[in-house]
Amino acid sequence: MRSTIDFTPLYQSAIGFDRMASLLDNLARDGKPSYPPYNIELVEENQYRITMAVAGFAEEDLEITTEQNTLVIAGRQKARDDQREYLYQGIAERNFERKFQLAEHVRVESARLENGLLHVELKREIPEAIKPRRIAIGNGSDLLEQQDAA
């Protein structure tokens, strides 16, 4: 039995984060199994890595695209001509498409496939215009002097 989480308080108390609350709400509703398995790791302060287990997929079977803060990783294998008879099949060989919502200013730097693992390197680059800055606090006399001069 799956429980639902009400994210309404986030909408009321978080200014400018309504998109994030919507994403969390969508994630809570999404009951799909996670295939293929993946990890998301923090490499450095503004660098991330998605590692996805894609055993059985060749480089030409994988496609990575980004569009409007969404990273899409898809795997499509070509149909095989041989007729194999499995006694047990534990390695999934089905097509997949995984979507990841990227925060603003996160871009894909590179991707590499090694030993059945797809590594996608991400970097967050915050523009200077929106970086935090310190605001000096005046005592109010500066404002009075400017009004007297006018």
The per-residue pLDDT for range 8-63, each reduced to its tens digit, is: 555 554 444 455 555 555 555 555 557 889 999 899 888 999 999 998 899 999 99
Yes or no: say if 120 and 99 are a contact pair by the CB < 8 Å rule.
no
Yes or no: say if 49 and 43 are a contact pair by the CB < 8 Å rule.
yes
The per-residue pLDDT for range 106-130, each reduced to its tens digit, is: 889 999 999 999 999 999 888 888 7
Q: Where in the chain are the domains? A: 1-31, 35-132
108 C-beta neighbours (distance < 10 Å), count? 16
Question: What is the assigned CATH class of domain 35-132?
Answer: mainly beta
The per-residue pLDDT for range 68-107, each reduced to its tens digit, is: 888 999 999 877 666 778 888 787 778 999 988 888 888 8
Integer Cα distance of 105 and 141 in angstroms? 40
Strand partners, 57: none
Backbone angles phi, psi at 129, to 5 degrees: -65, -25
Model confidence, pTM = 0.64
Backbone angles phi, psi at 55, to 5 degrees: -60, 135
